[in-house]
Amino acid sequence: MFDIDKFVFIDNHAHSLLKKYRELDEIGFRQSFSESKSLSILKDHLPQSVHYIDMVEHLVKLFNVKTEEEFLSFRSEQPATLFVKMLWDAVSIGALIVDDGFASGETMSLDELARISGRPIYHCLRLEPLMEASLLAADSLEEACKNFEMKLFPQGQPKAIGLKSICGYRGGLQLLNPSKEEARNDFAVLKKSLGDSRTLRLTKRPVYHFMLLKAFEIAAQHAVPVQIHTGIGDDDANLIDCNPALMQDLFRSQTLAKTSFVLLHCFPYLHEAAFMCSLYGNVYMDLSLSMSLASPRAARLVGDALSLAPASKILAGTDGHSSPESHWYGALCWKRGLTLSVHEMINANSLTQRKAEELCALILHDNAIKLYQLEGLA
């Protein structure tokens, strides 16, 4: 047996903490562990979910309290920095790659999160809000594309180490491949429909996908990977349209051969995602969110990924947000599931112990260091 508890965990996909996370009531706290917006789910049913029962049991043992209510009272009294460091130290979270496009008005800035957590925090830039702002401000497609590219990598500012698209939420992963003329015509239609409105929520249409494909090309020019939401997530995503296999034509496109893609979440499409990773050198996957929401199956999820995808293509992530416990529990589930999965492979003589340790190191930190070009972390 070997122990990976102290292996550094680099969180490839996370979000920031709420500024007032210590003031959350019972329902607010539970929202970090469910994708549902239903009060009845959060009030009556989530406490009967195995992953939530498991998470609370680990918390009360870690902090020597007896109940969820007692824990919430305890956490409300703790200094923010001390509490986050204590929690994340327990699972050796070493750094986080953060998409700050989620609940951005209510969450800590990246600098605040770095100060509170005592960890390096790296920026993953969400594409859709920048695209929407660029379209609203422009009088032509060309102006919108120029503004958008400038927003992606502005001169004189720290460079984002990754880009992220939520196109899965915005009409699905079957992307259009519009010509510039089609995009230009759609730009005119879009601007006419907006009138004097200063808000825009892009969904599947030629101008959106034209700019998105351009962003994928720009990512390659700057040598940064693109994260793609797939599988489970918020209830505004149609799960059927979030199968990563729908992007297969894009992955084998010569135009995007130098763009690295990271498929996020993947559940219930783990087999499809793992197969894409086995076929295309520029496709990677993580199991963020899946490992915590389906924690009783964590070992099987890892095993399913490793059954097809090379270990060099799998990244660890939590999709933790709002409450530091969500990042902590995601990392805990990863280490527990990974340990059980590789030990099963050792017992089946599929892996030696030495090779299993190497694969665990790849997944927990080495792959992220290499793909995102991080320095000094191991």
Q: Determine which of 29-43, 111-125, 145-159, 361-375 has the lowest per-residue pLDDT on average.
A: 145-159
| 11 touches 95 (CB < 8 A) | yes
H/E segment holding residue 110: helix 110-117
Evaluate whether residue 51 is within a structural domain. Answer: no
Query: What's the pLDDT at 104?
Result: 74
Q: Is the pLDDT reported for residue 378 higher than 70? A: no
Query: What's the pLDDT at 246?
Result: 98
Evaluate whether residue 70 is within a structural domain. Answer: no
Total domain count, the chain: 1
Looking at the chain, the whole-number percentage of residues with pLDDT higher than 90 is: 93
Q: Is the pLDDT reported for residue 1 higher than 70? A: no
Neighbours of 370 (CB within 10 A): 11
For the domain that residue 170 is a member of, what is the CATH number?
Answer: 3.20.20.140
Evaluate whether residue 91 is within a structural domain. Answer: yes
pTM above 0.85, yes or no: yes
- The contacts of residue 164 (CB under 8 Å, 6+ apart) are 99, 101, 124, 125, 126, 127, 226, 227, 228, 229
Q: Is the pLDDT reported for residue 227 higher than 70? A: yes
Q: Is the pLDDT reported for residue 174 higher than 60? A: yes
The mean of the pLDDT values for the chain is 96
Q: Is the pLDDT reported for residue 239 higher than 70? A: yes
Q: Determine which of 197-201, 220-224, 342-346 has the lowest per-residue pLDDT on average.
A: 197-201
Query: What's the pLDDT at 123?
Result: 97
Q: Can you tell me the mean pLDDT for 125-149?
A: 97
Evaluate whether residue 208 is within a structural domain. Answer: yes
Q: What sign does the CA torsion over 329, 332, 336, 337 have?
A: positive
Instruction: List, for residues 299-337, the tens digit of each pLDDT value.
Output: 999 999 999 999 999 999 999 999 999 999 999 999 999
Domain that holds residue 250: 9-24+80-371
H/E segment holding residue 306: helix 298-308
Query: What's the pLDDT at 331?
Result: 98
Q: Is the pLDDT reported for residue 101 higher than 90? A: no
Evaluate whether residue 3 is within a structural domain. Answer: no
Q: What sign does the CA torsion over 27, 32, 38, 44 have?
A: negative
Evaluate whether residue 377 is within a structural domain. Answer: no
Q: Can you tell me the mean pLDDT for 152-173?
A: 93
Evaluate whether residue 117 is within a structural domain. Answer: yes
Query: What's the pLDDT at 108?
Result: 96
Instruction: List, for residues 251-268, the tens digit of each pLDDT value.
Output: 999 999 999 999 999 999
Query: What's the pLDDT at 298?
Result: 97
Evaluate whether residue 107 is within a structural domain. Answer: yes
Instruction: List, for residues 274-291, the tens digit of each pLDDT value.
Output: 999 999 999 999 999 999
Query: What's the pLDDT at 114?
Result: 97
Query: What's the pLDDT at 377?
Result: 60
| Gap between the Cα atoms of 308 and 167, Å rounded | 25
